[in-house]
Chains A and B, each alone.
Chain A
Amino acid sequence: MRRIFLSFWCILSLAVFATAQDQHGHDNHDGHNHAEHADHSGQDHADHSGHAHANACGYTHEDVFNPGAVAFHHISDQNIYSIGPVAIPLPCIMYVKDQGLEMFSSGVFEADSHGSGIYAYNRWVIYEGSVRRILDKQFPMGKVAIGEHNLFPVEETMDNGKKRDVIHLCYEGEAWRCDSKSYADGGFLGGGMSSYYDFSITKNVMTMLIVFILVAWVFIRVARAYKKREGLAPTGTQNLLETLFVFIQDEVAKPFLGAKWERYTPFLMSLFFFILALNLFGQIPFFGGSNVTGNLSFTLVIAVLAFVVTTFSGNKHYWEHIFWMPGLPAWVKVIITPVEIMGMFIKPLTLMLRLFGNITAGHMVIVIFVGLIFIFGQNGANPGAAYGTAIGSTLLTMFMMAIELLVAFLQAFVFTILTASYIGAAIEDHHHAEEAH
């Protein structure tokens, strides 16, 4: 009887999941697809594969579905938190150079499902979820209605030869240049320093806070359960977490860290459970689609933490092996030393990129599978093909999400095991080092 119930429950949840996915497809129809969105008349699809909108500043908006752009929009950090069709405003904390802090809610922009606002506030506008600043002092302060489709990108070439989109606002027939927030990437990824810094509680920060509270709550509860139920077999959440905890302890901490494993266990456990929880949280459909572990800034911070822990726990032998590898002829040492020093930095760099790459790729593949509907449906010109593809793409998306569940665990595990092996190499005692040669 129980088994029947279980299988029934499985099928039911699969069905709900499938409908949810399908809805995601429809959701995209309504909100996320540029073609559908801009097409207000919504009638003569047949002879148009995409509409063109011209605004007062002479910018023509080509409404052709661009899967790459949509995917990048979905994985990027935003100043609004969208749960399904509901956009929850988040606090914006901006630091403008020579002007100090400015704080406001992103609700003032009244952003649509694209994340583009129809109001400007104190020379701030929101375009595709991120707040930007109008540079010109002539622009009126306070809340100004700017209308729809008046924010548009213009491609510019930067000093280093890279191209990037600069957002302009079309207001009263004039184009106003908008600055985007400062990125500390040195212009590498199309960012660079601008006139203001964004310290807002963005979607990613919000997600991290939520996940932190969730994980802390679950672990405190489980810790209490151990006190209360001492000597009894674990149940429920306690059981689940004990399995994971003991797995990391026995498979990662003990084999790699040797005798000192207990000292590093809190660090490794924090890494594992925080990354795992963030990975899984980002997988929940419609719930913001947070992509925290697929954000280079976040992975950079945890990779730097791993680097700091490794470097500061390095013993004499570790540094000896880096700067003057024993047991090698002098001329080889001259070659090996720079390689070892580079290796010190490449290890955390790969940690950072691996997590970022895997999680971002997963999120993008799911968005692109949903985007297949619009590609085959030719932006609404061919609804039959769109419905047909919707079935296939729902199945593909479900398959991808199942794989992503595995990847969420695997990447958290890989990050932890690699950190443990780097720390282990740094604290290895002499006997082990001797055996290695």
Chain B
Amino acid sequence: MVSLTAIGAGLAVIGAGIGIGNIGSKAMEAIARQPEAVGDIRSNMILMAALIEGAALIAILLAFFV
């Protein structure tokens, strides 16, 4: 059982990693294209990353406690 929950938590982390990685890469591209909008892009990037992290955290919680 322990190994199964660990695999579940790991899968959740992979998903979140891909998602946040995509956000980061697109944000970098956007900043390169429009350096003057860096403030807006940065705060939106953090917001989106936090939302994805939320989904991953729920998955990890379910993996460990259910």
Q: Are B39 and A251 in contact (CB under 8 A)?
A: yes
Q: Are A354 and B53 in contact (CB under 8 A)?
A: yes
For chain A, the count of residues having a C-beta within 8 Å of the partner chain is 18
- Looking at the complex, which one of B39, B46, B61 makes contact with A353 (CB distance below 8 Å)? B61
- Residue B30, interface by CB 8 Å: no
Contacts of B47 in A (CB 8 A): 414, 417-418, 421
- Residue B43, interface by CB 8 Å: yes
If A251-B43, A417-B46, A418-B47 touch, whether A353 touches B54 (CB-CB below 8 Å) is yes
User: Could you tell me the distance between the alpha carbons of A354 and B46 in the complex, rounded to whole angstroms?
Assistant: 13
Contacts of B39 in A (CB 8 A): 251
The contact string, 1 if C-beta is below 8 Å from chain A, for chain B 36-65, is: 000100010011001101110110110001
- Residue A308, interface by CB 8 Å: no
If A188-B65, A251-B39 touch, whether A357 touches B57 (CB-CB below 8 Å) is yes
Segment 346-380 of A: residues with Cβ below 8 Å from B: 346, 349-351, 353-354, 357
Segment 168-192 of A: residues with Cβ below 8 Å from B: 188-189
User: Could you tell me the distance between the alpha carbons of A418 and B53 in the complex, rounded to whole angstroms?
Assistant: 12
Separation in Å of the A226 CB from the closest CB of chain B? 26
User: Could you tell me the distance between the alpha carbons of A189 and B66 in the complex, rounded to whole angstroms?
Assistant: 10
- Residue A413, interface by CB 8 Å: yes
The main secondary structure of chain A at its interface with chain B is helix
Contacts of B55 in A (CB 8 A): 350
Q: Are A354 and B54 in contact (CB under 8 A)?
A: yes
For chain B, the count of residues having a C-beta within 8 Å of the partner chain is 14
If A188-B65, A189-B65, A354-B53 touch, whether A349 touches B58 (CB-CB below 8 Å) is yes
Contacts of B57 in A (CB 8 A): 350, 353-354, 357
Nearest opposing residue in chain B for A251, CB measure:
B43
Q: Are A350 and B65 in contact (CB under 8 A)?
A: no
Q: Are A417 and B43 in contact (CB under 8 A)?
A: yes
User: Could you tell me the distance between the alpha carbons of A413 and B50 in the complex, rounded to whole angstroms?
Assistant: 11
Contacts of A417 in B (CB 8 A): 43, 46-47, 50
Q: Are B50 and A414 in contact (CB under 8 A)?
A: yes
User: Could you tell me the distance between the alpha carbons of A267 and B60 in the complex, rounded to whole angstroms?
Assistant: 30
Separation in Å of the A419 CB from the closest CB of chain B? 11
User: Could you tell me the distance between the alpha carbons of A318 and B56 in the complex, rounded to whole angstroms?
Assistant: 26
Contacts of A418 in B (CB 8 A): 47, 50-51
- Residue A16, interface by CB 8 Å: no
User: Could you tell me the distance between the alpha carbons of A421 and B60 in the complex, rounded to whole angstroms?
Assistant: 24
Nearest opposing residue in chain B for A421, CB measure:
B47
- Residue A240, interface by CB 8 Å: no
Contacts of A413 in B (CB 8 A): 46
Nearest opposing residue in chain B for A358, CB measure:
B53
Nearest opposing residue in chain B for A417, CB measure:
B47
Can you list 17 A-B contacts (CB < 8 A)? A252-B43, A255-B43, A346-B58, A350-B53, A350-B54, A350-B58, A351-B54, A353-B54, A357-B60, A410-B46, A413-B46, A414-B46, A414-B47, A414-B50, A417-B43, A417-B50, A418-B51
- 10 nearest CB pairs, A to B: A350-B54, A353-B57, A414-B50, A357-B57, A251-B43, A188-B65, A417-B47, A354-B57, A354-B53, A418-B50
Residues of A within 8 A of B (CB): 188-189, 251-252, 255, 346, 349-351, 353-354, 357, 410, 413-414, 417-418, 421
Residues of B within 8 A of A (CB): 39, 43, 46-47, 50-51, 53-55, 57-58, 60-61, 65
Other contacts beyond A255-B43, A353-B61: 18, CB < 8 A = A189-B65, A251-B39, A252-B43, A346-B58, A350-B51, A350-B53, A350-B54, A350-B57, A353-B58, A354-B50, A354-B53, A357-B60, A414-B50, A417-B43, A417-B47, A418-B47, A418-B50, A421-B47
